[in-house]
């Protein structure tokens, strides 16, 4: 099994061809942006020497095997400089063409304005929101170390380096600082952050906004700092990058001084180089400076011998991949059981039968859904590739599993302590999911999901299977008051495309929800759980299937065709109480538990008709949060019992009643909606007033 350094030696360099390759990359960026009239060429030009050396000499990658598990990862955190990445993917043989480069930022192209994972071969992460790439690269490095420690301890077979390229803007965003702090604490020496220290932002020089000593800050985080003051010296770049990839027990910051827009005499070093073309005259001057004809076409900027030289990355990559496969075969012979475990892990093979052992209680038992969720995580430990932790709230959110924490000295640790870094935690989860095939989870209170929102959105955009475990799901939090009582968070999270928001009613629904979550690795989930105990409700054989469908009839009197009461989470038992009270007056109501409206909306029309018949117009929705979106399901003449203002300090039951979530309010809403539909029971009732809702 491999035990040598994972940093490969470079192929024989040819200085003249290397120089031409860099010049071509710089000219391509200037030409394409000028031709399109928009885009970001300045950074791509300045970093062309660095990117050429990295992709052609240093990076452990194989363009012909882009999914190679042991490849180095490269994340362009400064995603606006996408041309830099696309140009190297073209030069090194990832399948892009000059025409693809010319079509950058165009509808339907392989080269969108910012890199998009799963869209362009060779792109490891969707980036653009500054700082996100830095934070997610930390997650990639953590997952890589964890996988290696769990499956091949003492070996470098799975070891590789995560590289991330960031600009001044990335390092100003707080999420990068949060994640970098944790990376230093964890000693992630398989992580290299290259900082493009050009002193320029969109509006001005960093002298106006960013004068801190970044190098000292990263040293204080526990990072090693290396300097490159000669950005065009290819051999010096290679030497420093190779040193950066050495395992020293610390992550490495490479501070690279560049001039944005170089070698343009007119725009170099100016904010104007950040975006937009340089103009026809300056473009011609740049081409001349780089050794091309001033009117050279796109094709004329890439000589056949230059492309042949850079495509040497294919041969180099094949050799690296072949050597690794030989090491893998040797390991499989020496440790067939261990190799089989890793292959099953990589193939997504796992057994969820442990869910059957989770105790859900008997009807009437009082169990907080956060507690059942904790039992689920512990039951699945070791059987399913779940890995995660909490933002310093593990005891309260009950997500801590058995075993040791992940640390600088224990990469096999079963649990991650993220510290009080919610935004970085969510971004790190994205990195862990991208590294794959872990299903990462992380937990905090629902109200703090606001800190995580940008990373949650990016995870949904990338289709990553992260699980965000949010507890303390409503004003029932109680005495901590409105700062800790979520009101708008559930409704807000439901507006994120491709994010499943799941709010189980009881322990039975928690377990059933996890069956669907584990079967859907390409969708993130916000799992919203109660702090307070909730009664285990009567169940039946169709309950698990109903949960995975997102909505189902949990309780019904008669044919249930007089009234539908829709509810989620802790309000389902309240809805059942109300329906039972209404049944005493002869009203046939059905209670629809809707743990996930996204899942329910995906069901067939026939299924939804069974649960919520179109003809059943008298409808009430109940949820302890903002209720605007529920009108989709109850109609304009239905009623929504919700909370439309912030909470206050007091016991949970007191605050819920003060904000209108109580039995009398649900019954009054039922009468109001029944009154809006003549011919149904209680048809003479009047609509509910605001005063009645909150009394």
8 A C-beta contact, residue 513 and residue 355: no
328-352 pLDDT, tens digit each: 999 999 999 999 999 999 999 999 9
Residue 475 lies in a domain: yes
Q: Are residues 506 and 646 in the same domain?
A: no
Last residue of a domain, one of 468, 503, 535: 535
3-state helix, strand, coil in the chain (%, to 5): 45, 15, 45
Average pLDDT over the chain, rounded to whole?
Answer: 95
Q: How far, in Å, CA of 534 to CA of 373, rounded?
A: 13
For 302-314, what is the HEC assignment?
A: CCHHHHHHHCHHH
Q: Are residues 314 and 363 in the same domain?
A: no
pLDDT value at position 693?
44
Active site residues: 422
Can you give the pTM of this predicted structure? 0.95
8 A C-beta contact, residue 316 and residue 54: no
Confidence of residue 677 (pLDDT cuts 50, 70, 90): confident
Residue 52 lies in a domain: yes
pLDDT at 10 exceeding the cut of 80: no
- Span 284-311, mean pLDDT? 98
Both tokens of 263, joined, read 């070698």
Q: Are residues 363 and 301 in the same domain?
A: no
Count of the separate structural domains present in the chain: 3
Q: Are residues 620 and 511 in the same domain?
A: no
Q: Are residues 229 and 315 in the same domain?
A: yes
- Give the CA count within 13 Å in the CB-facing half-sphere of 128: 15
- Span 431-435, mean pLDDT? 98
Last residue of a domain, one of 535, 560, 592: 535
Residue 336 lies in a domain: no
Residue 546 lies in a domain: no
% the chain with pLDDT above 90:
94
Confidence of residue 579 (pLDDT cuts 50, 70, 90): very high
Q: Are residues 522 and 657 in the same domain?
A: no
- Residue for token pair 């289709």: 463
Tell me which residue range forms the domain holding 688.
Answer: 551-694
Domain harbouring 498, CATH code: 3.40.50.970
8 A C-beta contact, residue 335 and residue 341: no
Q: Are residues 496 and 381 in the same domain?
A: yes
pLDDT at 474 exceeding the cut of 90: yes
pLDDT value at position 686?
39
pLDDT at 418 exceeding the cut of 60: yes
Confidence of residue 684 (pLDDT cuts 50, 70, 90): very low
Residue 7 lies in a domain: no
Last residue of a domain, one of 264, 296, 319: 319
Q: Are residues 614 and 489 in the same domain?
A: no
Residue 252 lies in a domain: yes
Residue 615 lies in a domain: yes
Q: Are residues 173 and 96 in the same domain?
A: yes
Residue 541 lies in a domain: no
591-616 pLDDT, tens digit each: 999 999 999 999 999 999 999 999 99
Confidence of residue 3 (pLDDT cuts 50, 70, 90): very low
Confidence of residue 637 (pLDDT cuts 50, 70, 90): confident
Q: Are residues 311 and 390 in the same domain?
A: no
pLDDT at 688 exceeding the cut of 50: no
pLDDT at 685 exceeding the cut of 90: no
Q: Are residues 498 and 596 in the same domain?
A: no
Q: How far, in Å, CA of 406 to CA of 679, rounded?
A: 64
pLDDT value at position 676?
81
């Amino acid at each position: 099994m491999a035990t040598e350094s994972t940093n490969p030696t470079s192929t024989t360099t040819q200085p003249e061809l290397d120089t031409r390759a860099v010049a071509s990359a710089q000219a391509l960026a200037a030409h394409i942006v000028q031709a399109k009239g928009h885009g970001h060429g300045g950074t791509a030009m300045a970093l062309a020497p660095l990117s050429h050396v990295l992709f052609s000499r240093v990076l452990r990658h194989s363009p012909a095997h882009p999914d190679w598990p042991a490849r180095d990862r490269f994340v362009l955190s400064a995603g606006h400089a996408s041309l830099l990445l696309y140009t190297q993917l073209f030069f090194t043989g990832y399948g892009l063409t000059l025409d693809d480069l010319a079509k950058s930022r165009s509808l339907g192209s392989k080269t969108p304005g910012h890199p998009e994972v799963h869209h362009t071969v060779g792109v490891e992460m969707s980036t653009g929101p500054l700082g996100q790439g830095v934070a997610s690269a930390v997650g990639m490095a953590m997952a890589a170390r964890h996988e290696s420690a769990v499956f091949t301890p003492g070996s470098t077979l799975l070891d590789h380096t995560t590289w991330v390229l960031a600009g001044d803007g990335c390092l100003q965003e707080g999420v990068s600082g949060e994640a970098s702090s944790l990376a230093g604490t964890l000693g992630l020496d398989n992580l290299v952050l290259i900082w493009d220290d050009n002193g320029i932002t969109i509006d001005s020089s960093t002298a106006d906004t960013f004068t801190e000593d970044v190098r000292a800050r990263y040293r204080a985080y526990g990072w090693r700092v290396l300097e490159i003051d000669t950005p065009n010296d290819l051999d010096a770049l290679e030497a420093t990058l190779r040193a950066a990839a050495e395992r020293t027990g610390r992550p490495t910051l490479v501070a690279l001084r560049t001039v944005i827009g170089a070698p343009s005499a007119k725009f170099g070093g100016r904010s104007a180089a950040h975006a937009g073309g340089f103009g026809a005259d300056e473009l011609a001057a740049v081409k001349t400076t780089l050794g091309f004809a001033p009117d050279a076409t796109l094709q004329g900027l890439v000589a056949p011998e230059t492309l042949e030289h850079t495509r040497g990355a294919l041969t180099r990559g094949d050799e690296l991949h072949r050597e690794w496969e030989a090491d893998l075969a040797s390991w499989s012979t020496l440790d067939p059981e261990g190799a089989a475990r890793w292959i099953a892990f990589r193939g997504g093979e796992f057994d969820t039968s442990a869910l059957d052992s989770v105790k859900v209680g008997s009807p009437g038992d009082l169990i907080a859904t956060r507690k059942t969720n904790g039992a689920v995580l512990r039951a699945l430990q070791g059987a399913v590739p779940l890995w995660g932790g909490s933002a310093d709230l593990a005891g309260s959110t009950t997500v801590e599993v058995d075993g040791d924490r992940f640390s600088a000295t224990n990469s096999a640790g079963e649990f991650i302590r993220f510290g009080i870094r919610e935004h970085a935690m969510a971004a790190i989860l994205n990195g862990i999911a991208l590294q794959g095939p872990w299903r990462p989870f992380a937990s905090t209170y629902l109200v703090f999901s606001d800190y995580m929102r940008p990373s949650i959105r990016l995870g949904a955009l990338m289709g990553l299977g992260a699980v965000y475990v949010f507890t303390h799901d409503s004003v029932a939090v109680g005495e901590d008051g409105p700062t800790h009582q979520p009101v708008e968070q559930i409704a807000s999270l439901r507006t994120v495309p491709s994010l499943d928001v799941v709010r189980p009613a009881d322990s039975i629904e928690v377990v059933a929800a996890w069956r669907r979550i584990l079967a859907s690795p390409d969708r993130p989930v916000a799992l919203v759980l109660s702090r307070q105990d909730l009664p285990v409700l009567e169940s039946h054989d169709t309950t698990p299937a109903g949960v995975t469908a997102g909505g189902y009839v949990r309780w019904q009197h008669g044919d249930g065709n007089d009234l539908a009461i829709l509810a989620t989470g802790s309000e389902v038992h309240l809805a059942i109480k109300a329906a039972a009270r209404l049944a005493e007056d002869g009203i046939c109501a059905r209670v629809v538990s809707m743990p996930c409206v996204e899942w329910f909306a995906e069901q067939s029309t026939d299924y939804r008709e069974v649960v919520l018949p179109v003809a059943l117009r008298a409808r009430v929705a109940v949820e302890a949060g903002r209720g605007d979106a529920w009108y989709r399901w109850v109609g304009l003449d239905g009623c929504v019992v919700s909370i439309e203002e912030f909470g206050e300090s007091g016991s949970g039951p007191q605050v819920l009643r003060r904000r209108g979530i109580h039995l009398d309010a649900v019954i009054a809403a039922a009468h109001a909606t029944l009154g809006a539909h003549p011919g149904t029971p209680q048809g003479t009732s009047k609509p509910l007033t605001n005063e009645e809702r909150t009394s």
